[in-house]
């Protein structure tokens, strides 16, 4: 079996971690597309490895994608499908499978149906697969489906997540409105009423995985204001007291089958005592409560993305969301050992 | 689609709960095999329903199994394969699919290879499936596999479980040596060195699900002595201070791939402040910790058994352990809606 060849598309906070994880799982990285500030530097150096990878970072995506024969592009750029489309389409046109951290791409059919259909068509035409993965994959949708397997009757299912906006780089911090005034935040959401957010794709995927149908969706985005000056060390900036440190997103979806879904997600710059959180409550017969503690959502975003790579390469062509893939499991062997399974 | 027809084989603590759950999920119960003390009584009455099911409990298994056309037998009798074989084989010979709570049957290949091979052959000859399910299914093996999907590297994986010996009827209490003296307990384990226990099948199934291989197995069974008189209300008996209230089972399995597995399981008659417990630790990159609290292991044994029924009916013939089945999920619809999927 040949090793898997990958192109790292986006060498930010997540791209750097995934580079190291992929190398340790026997993936050969044949190209890297990154920010202009890193152009010409070695990917290994930028990713903090203590050895060079002999892969120079370029900001010419077209040249990297056409110049290298690779199996998959690992794309970590933006949350929103409208910002992602161009990049994802370019990978597919070069016959590359794609896995991406884009939160909206995790289950984009309801919020970006046209762009998703175009990507699905492109992927099928070129015989490759595109999948959104990350934290939402195993530890949310897969895990919650399994928990629900112990339910006789479900009244409501609630997810609660909290992550540190300092862990994911400046693009995500901007998405969370870190450092804005409350007025700037409010103005944004008045002019963007149909924001997909992070949790709608999660709940829509969950609902699809359980074979249910969406009846209605309600969502809210609330700014969280810094109670004191907060140092975002990795972002290299200070969030002054009174400015936005992040946001609370609440998503409520009712289904035709009567099961109510709710997600509460906080992404913000932490004060020193705060930690990541992931839990699920099921109200029904019986009540169930699952907690994953000692968690780093950033790291486990990357570990899951990397463990998912063989499934994406193995999958049928098209835009394949994770509920259609095998359950995400540990990879004890180098990733190419799992090809053809 | 026709509704699923089931025979309840064993109308004890678990069989009664499963009867109610199956009825509520649209299963038709066409026969019931139970203890001589219940013979001639209506299954609905014995199961605590407030309506009769017009199914008389019989202790003539052969007559019930041959007299009714059913899709599946739901068998809740004993832990050990040598005690189960006769009952399971009889169901298979009557062309019934089988799902059982038997803990050893959850993954019986390593501890009962010959009996398992015979059942596998019988099932294939008669075109039916036999599967061990229960608490170990979704909330242990499936759940832990999903958690492992967030692991980059695993050093060790530890399960901790605790359940109340008062919840499962007299057969399980006897298996746990409830009410014996310490000397009786010690004598038993000297004369039964190869006891499968509850956790070896769980870990062996887990290891199979992750594509790993067993290198060595170490196990111990330690009696837990009642610190004060304990009332086992459902069992209708008192465990005197100093006698065995249950046991701690510790199972350690090393794999060829270097991942170490450990399970610690306590089954005992609770003192009033004790509660069920299920948690998993993964030591590695990263460390992970999952807790399911507010748990009733008895109820969730039954809910998972019932939710698993369509997968067993759908599966290929043979002795099919759960790691070969689809992930166990909530059934929002009556169970026969999931046939043919």
pLDDT of A341 higher than 90:
no
Residues B164 and B244 in one domain: yes
Gap between the Cα atoms of A326 and A328, Å rounded: 6
Q: Which segments of chain B does DSSP mark as H helices, in order? A: 13-24, 43-46, 61-67, 81-93, 113-126, 143-148, 170-175, 182-191, 199-209, 297-314
What are phi and psi for residue B157, nearest 5 degrees? Answer: -130, 120
pLDDT value for A197: 86
CATH of the domain at B177: 3.30.360
Gap between the Cα atoms of A261 and A251, Å rounded: 8
Residues B246 and B166 in one domain: yes
CATH of the domain at B330: 3.40.50.720
Residues B94 and B57 in one domain: yes
B215 three-class SS: strand
Numbers of helices and strands, H then E, in chain A: 10, 15
Report the largest interatomic distance among the alpha carbons of chain B, rounded to a whole angstrom. 58
Residues B153 and B286 in one domain: yes
Residues A48 and A144 in one domain: no
Residues A104 and A91 in one domain: yes
| 8 Å CB contact between A128 and A95 | yes
Contact A148 B212 (CB under 8 A): no
Kindly list the residues from chain A whose CB atom is less than 8 angstroms away from the CB atom of residue B139: 146-147, 149-150
Gap between the Cα atoms of B251 and A32, Å rounded: 46
Partner residue opposite B154 with nearest CB, options A287, A296, A330: A330
Kindly list the residues from chain A whose CB atom is less than 8 angstroms away from the CB atom of residue B167: none
Gap between the Cα atoms of A150 and A27, Å rounded: 37
Gap between the Cα atoms of A208 and B76, Å rounded: 33
pLDDT of B339 higher than 80:
yes
Partner residue opposite A332 with nearest CB, options B211, B288, B307: B211
CA–CA distance from B283 to each of B69, B147, B151, B286, B287 (Å)? 50, 12, 9, 7, 5
Residues A148 and A289 in one domain: yes
Residues A140 and A126 in one domain: no
Contact A149 B304 (CB under 8 A): yes
Residues A290 and A171 in one domain: yes
pLDDT value for B195: 75
CA closest to B149 among chain A residues:
A329
Q: Report the range of poorest mean pLDDT among A37-46, B20-29, B191-200.
A: B191-200
Helix/strand/coil percent split, chain B, to 5: 35, 30, 35
- Per the structure, the complete domain to which residue B241 belongs is given by 136-296
Compute the half-sphere exposure of residue A177: CA atoms within 13 Å on the CB side of its CA.
25
Contact A328 B146 (CB under 8 A): yes
Q: For A100-121, how does the pLDDT look when each residue is reduced to its tens digit (9 = 90+)?
A: 999 999 999 999 999 999 999 9
Vertex B299: Cα angle to A153 and B89 (nearest 5): 110
E-state strands within A122-276: 129-132, 153-164, 214-225, 230-232, 237-239, 244-255, 260-268
Domain total in chain B: 2
Share of chain B above pLDDT 70, in %: 100
pLDDT value for B178: 96
- Tell me: cis bond preceding A286? Omega within 30 of 0 counts: yes
pLDDT value for B142: 96
User: What pTM was computed for the model?
Assistant: 0.96
Best residue of B139, B146, B161 to probe chain A, by most A CBs closer than 10 Å? B146
Q: For A238-292, how does the pLDDT look when each residue is reduced to its tens digit (9 = 90+)?
A: 999 999 999 999 999 999 999 999 999 999 999 999 999 999 999 999 999 999 9
Kindly list the residues from chain B whose CB atom is less than 8 angstroms away from the CB atom of residue A285: 303
Distance from CA of B333 to the nearest CA of A (A): 9
Contact B329 A148 (CB under 8 A): yes
Gap between the Cα atoms of A22 and B311, Å rounded: 35
pLDDT of A192 higher than 90:
no
Residues B92 and B185 in one domain: no
Q: For A59-109, how does the pLDDT look when each residue is reduced to its tens digit (9 = 90+)?
A: 999 999 999 899 999 999 999 999 999 999 999 999 999 999 999 999 999
Residues B96 and B186 in one domain: no
Residues A170 and A191 in one domain: yes
| 8 Å CB contact between A241 and A174 | no
pLDDT of A326 higher than 90:
yes
């Amino acid at each position: 079996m040949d090793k898997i060849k990958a192109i790292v598309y986006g060498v930010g906070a997540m791209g750097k971690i995934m580079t190291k994880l992929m190398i340790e799982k026997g993936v050969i990285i044949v190209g890297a597309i990154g920010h202009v500030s890193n152009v010409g530097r070695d990917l290994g150096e930028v990713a903090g490895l203590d050895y060079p990878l002999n892969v120079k970072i370029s900001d010419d995506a077209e040249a990297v994608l056409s110049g290298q024969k690779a199996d998959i592009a690992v794309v970590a750029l933006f949350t929103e499908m409208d910002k992602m489309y161009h990049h994802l389409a370019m990978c597919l046109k070069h016959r590359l499978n794609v896995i991406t951290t884009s939160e909206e791409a995790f289950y984009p059919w309801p919020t970006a149906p046209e762009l998703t259909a175009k990507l699905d068509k492109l992927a099928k035409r070129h015989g490759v697969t595109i999948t959104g993965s990350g934290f939402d994959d195993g530890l949310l949708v897969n895990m919650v489906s399994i928990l629900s397997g112990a339910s006789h009757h479900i009244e409501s299912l609630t997810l609660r997540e909290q992550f540190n906006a300092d862990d994911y780089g400046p693009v995500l911090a901007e998405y969370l409105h870190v450092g804005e005034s409350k007025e700037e935040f409010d103005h944004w959401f008045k002019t963007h009423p149909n924001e997909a957010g992070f949790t709608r794709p999660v709940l829509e995927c969950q609902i699809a995985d359980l074979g249910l149908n969406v009846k209605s969706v309600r969502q809210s985005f609330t700014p969280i204001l810094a109670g004191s000056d907060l140092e975002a060390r990795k972002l290299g900036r200070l969030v002054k007291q009174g400015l936005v440190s992040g946001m609370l997103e609440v998503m409520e979806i009712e289904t035709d089958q009567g099961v109510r879904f709710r997600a509460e997600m906080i992404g913000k710059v932490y004060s020193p005592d705060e930690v990541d959180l992931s839990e699920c409550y099921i109200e029904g017969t019986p009540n169930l409560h699952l907690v994953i503690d000692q968690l780093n959502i950033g790291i486990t975003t990357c570990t899951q993305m990397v463990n998912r790579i063989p499934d994406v390469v193995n999958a049928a062509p098209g835009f394949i969301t994770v509920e259609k893939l095998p359950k995400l499991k540990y990879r004890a062997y180098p990733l190419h050992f799992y090809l053809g399974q």
